[in-house]
Amino acid sequence: MPNQDAMRSLPSVEKLLQELDTGAFDPVPRPVVADVVRREVATLRERVVASGTPLGDGEALAAVTAAVLGLRAARLQPVINATGVLIHTNLGRSPVGQRAADALRAIATNYSNLEFDLPSGQRGKRAGYLEQLLATLTEAPAAVAVNNCASALVLILKSLIAPEKREVIVSRGELVEIGGGFRIPEIMEASGAVLIEVGATNKTNLEDYQNAITERSAAILKVHRSNFWLGGFTGEPMTEELAELADRSGIPLVEDLGSGAMMQTDQLAPIEHEPTPMEILRKGVGLVCFSGDKLLGGPQSGIIAGRAELVAAIKNEPFFRAVRCDKLILTVLQETVAEYLATRHSDDPSLPHIPVVRALATPVEELKERAQNILAALSSSALQAELIATVARTGGGTMPRSEIPSAGLVLRHPSLKAEELAERLRSGVPPVVGYVDEDALRLDLRTVFPDQDEELGRLLQHLAE
């Protein structure tokens, strides 16, 4: 028999719903708020029954408020990325450009010619225009887009294997784990391919590949080491040699490139060179695949480019239907690629309006100037803010060695710990995500868009009040 006093200390769901300041929970739908309150009350009831101890004054309201606010914070919403990590997997990888965003709105809110041929009025080919743009961009005979690079790889392998020809040869130095805990051996298993490991972790020779080729071989796969590097006593055949071997053996060479850099990264910033799909295809690789939302700066997608007959086989593979892109992704990808092609062709040497490309290429002097301007606008606050040199990174499992000189702000507060300051900034509208180092909150401006500076200044001002 539960303690009656204790049970009376638990307010009803209806009473709590009335007491909650629902305005503060906007835009969480009312029925969801009610569900959360019911769940919290049930949990509190269990606790009261078990302990026989009454709740404190306002305890139930506080618990319910915290639960609803926690859920509210979890809704997908824009944040200001002040981490200095350009392709931040937890912050949605790459933001897309204005051109793509504008097109997205138009396609999302209207009917479109997704699978309709306007000249003939007949059923049309989905993504035909995008595929032409991708082929031109990658300088490949053919190209196609799917949901992400992991599914692109599964699809490629599925299209290449046959019942008696399932073996795919991979160097032991490339059996990597890529984004989201997905490992190359597991991807191969998912595709039905049989993994044939060759060489050693640090060294694989051309002969290792050659000796593994049999009549059961379906392909040679190379995986770009995008999220780690090998140093010391290492070696691998040149891609050209491997392509020649594959050709002689009548099997395709496939390379999973991951990042999809379209620009010469070493010319944009003082960082290393990331191979582009064009460079890899020129070496004789039959098919490449890469992500759309890493260095390309587009939507989550996986792009496959290469020989026409291999791409055609991919599109005929039944699994293709399961991983094809929806019209919103197709639109964003189409306009992202068109933006690259527009600047590539123009006499105007300006960079494409692709946020990650622009952020990568911003001179550190410009970031310092922006930091100074933000500092100058901060008036008479308890917050101590200073300009600092920082180190930005590409992130997203790309170019782990590349440190990009950057600039930002370091923030200290006389009574708030760095973690508390960081938490306050994250609970603002919009939330700002920085990082804590040496007991101080740091904001890197390389990943903050210039048109967010004013808002960031306002949020900092507010933080100190």
150 in contact with ligand PLP (CB under 6 A): yes
Which of 83, 94, 148, 217 forms a contact with ligand PLP (CB under 6 A)?
148
- Asked if 452 contacts 80 with a C-beta cutoff of 8 angstroms, the reply is yes
Task: Give the shortest CB-178-to-ligand PLP separation in angstroms.
Answer: 4
Residue (175 or 436) nearer to ligand PLP, CB: 175
Sign of CA dihedral 33, 37, 38, 39: positive
DSSP-assigned letter for residue 272: P
The first and second tokens of residue 23, run together, are 């305005």
Task: Give the shortest CB-259-to-ligand PLP separation in angstroms.
Answer: 6
397 in contact with ligand PLP (CB under 6 A): yes
Contact range with ligand PLP by CB under 6 A, out of 207-215, 253-261, 363-371, 445-453: 253-261
Task: Give the shortest CB-386-to-ligand PLP separation in angstroms.
Answer: 36
Which of 291, 336, 390, 452 forms a contact with ligand PLP (CB under 6 A)?
291
Q: What are residue 86's phi and psi, to 5 degrees?
A: -65, -50
Which of 84, 277, 297, 302 forms a contact with ligand PLP (CB under 6 A)?
302
Which of 65, 81, 94, 226 forms a contact with ligand PLP (CB under 6 A)?
226
Site size toward ligand PLP (CB under 6 A) is 14
Report the alpha-carbon distance of residue 197 to residue 75 in Å, rounded: 43
Contact range with ligand PLP by CB under 6 A, out of 94-102, 218-226, 230-238, 414-422: 218-226
* Full DSSP string of 156-175: HHHHH-BTTB-EEEEEGGG-
Task: Tell me which amino acid residue 326 is.
Answer: D
Residues in contact with ligand PLP, shown as a per-residue x/- string from 80 to 109 under the rule CB under 6 A:
------------------------------
- Asked if 321 contacts 101 with a C-beta cutoff of 8 angstroms, the reply is no
Contact range with ligand PLP by CB under 6 A, out of 24-32, 128-136, 256-264, 358-366: 256-264
Residue (44 or 289) nearer to ligand PLP, CB: 289
User: Closest Cα to residue 415, out of 464, 367, 373, 352?
Assistant: 464
* Cross-strand partners of 388: 408
277 in contact with ligand PLP (CB under 6 A): no
256 in contact with ligand PLP (CB under 6 A): yes
Sign of CA dihedral 275, 127, 307, 210: positive
CB atoms under 10 Å from CB of 257, counted, come to: 27
- Decide the pairing of beta strands 435-437 and 440-444: antiparallel
Q: Where do the DSSP E strands lie in 74-147?
A: 80-81, 85-87, 116-117, 122-123, 142-146
- Asked if 165 contacts 215 with a C-beta cutoff of 8 angstroms, the reply is yes
Contact range with ligand PLP by CB under 6 A, out of 220-228, 279-287, 343-351, 418-426: 220-228
Which of 44, 103, 134, 149 forms a contact with ligand PLP (CB under 6 A)?
149
Sign of CA dihedral 255, 257, 261, 266: negative
Residue (65 or 259) nearer to ligand PLP, CB: 259
223 in contact with ligand PLP (CB under 6 A): yes
Task: Give the shortest CB-140-to-ligand PLP separation in angstroms.
Answer: 18
Residue (258 or 306) nearer to ligand PLP, CB: 258
User: Closest Cα to residue 298, out of 350, 272, 351, 259?
Assistant: 259
222 in contact with ligand PLP (CB under 6 A): no
Which residues, including other chains, have CB under 8 Å from residue 237's CB and lie 6 or more apart?
Answer: 204, 205, 206, 209, 245
Query: Which 37-56 residues touch ligand PLP, going by CB under 6 A?
Result: none
Query: Which 172-211 residues touch ligand PLP, going by CB under 6 A?
Result: 178-179
Residues of this chain that bind ligand PLP (CB under 6 A)? 148-150, 178-179, 223-224, 226, 256, 258-259, 291, 302, 397
